[in-house]
Amino acid sequence: MTPITIEQVRKRAEADARTYGYHLVSDPDLLQGLLDGLRVNEERYGYPSCPCRLASGNFDYDRDIICPCDYRDPDVAEYGACYCRLYVNTDVYEGKTPLPTVPERRPVEKQSRAFGPATPSAETKPAATAEEKEEHVQIGPKLWYCKQCGYVVFREEPPYICPICKAKREMFAEIKTRIDFIG
């Protein structure tokens, strides 16, 4: 396999930023560092997992942190940048708002998987774990549709910008489903 270059990683990220209406962070050193981290991870694991998160090397466990990660859209919507700050919104890109600090949105139980086979340690508080799990179930993915073009997506929150027609998040509405059992 030919080694992946930073230029390839950059082009892919730029194309994705364009599609979703984001920008890559403007600071050249920061950008270079982030892209290089992605390149190293792609060589190491076979997929570009987030350079700022610990990957497990198991694709199924790392799926949510493969760049662009599942948390990018909600983080850019709420803070103006994603967790590692590779992707930023226009205000941050143009310097109208400073580069924000973005807290980790990824659930702790997913982060923990990267630390090897889960043998619950004595220090783990069972009550807290149960609560977290319950909360996670409650959040769960839902069906959303774009009122402008009809694009449908199954995820926790609607996308920041519709990938098809570029409508804003406000144009998304939840599709309520009900299953009835009769007889």
Partner 1 sequence: MQFSKVQGEKKQHKVVLYALSTCVWCKMTKQYLKDSGVEYDYVDIDLCTEEEKQKIRQEIQNKGGPLSYPTTIIDDKVVVTGFRKDLLKETLGL
Interface ranges with partner 1 (CB under 8 A): 30, 33-34, 36-38, 40-41, 51-55, 84, 101, 104, 108, 111-112, 114-117, 119, 121, 123-124
Q: What is the torsional sign of CA 88, 66, 163, 174? A: negative
- Nearest partner of 72 among 145, 137, 164, 163, judged by Cα: 163
Contacts of 13 (CB under 8 A, 6+ apart): 24, 35, 38, 67, 86, 87
Distance of alpha carbon 164 from alpha carbon 104, whole angstroms: 28
Complex with partner 1: residue 81 or 171, whichever CB lies closer? 81
Complex with partner 1: residue 119 or 177, whichever CB lies closer? 119
Complex with partner 1: residue 5 or 124, whichever CB lies closer? 124
Distance of alpha carbon 127 from alpha carbon 113, whole angstroms: 19
Q: How far is the CB of 174 from partner 1 (least distance, A)?
A: 30
Q: How far is the CB of 115 from partner 1 (least distance, A)?
A: 4
Cα–Cα–Cα angle for 46, 52, 54, nearest 5°?
Answer: 60
Complex with partner 1: residue 44 or 147, whichever CB lies closer? 44
Complex with partner 1: residue 57 or 141, whichever CB lies closer? 57
Q: How far is the CB of 65 from partner 1 (least distance, A)?
A: 12
Q: How far is the CB of 88 from partner 1 (least distance, A)?
A: 14
Distance of alpha carbon 87 from alpha carbon 14, whole angstroms: 9
Complex with partner 1: residue 99 or 167, whichever CB lies closer? 99
Distance of alpha carbon 39 from alpha carbon 100, whole angstroms: 24
Distance of alpha carbon 71 from alpha carbon 105, whole angstroms: 7
Q: How far is the CB of 57 from partner 1 (least distance, A)?
A: 10
Q: How far is the CB of 159 from partner 1 (least distance, A)?
A: 24
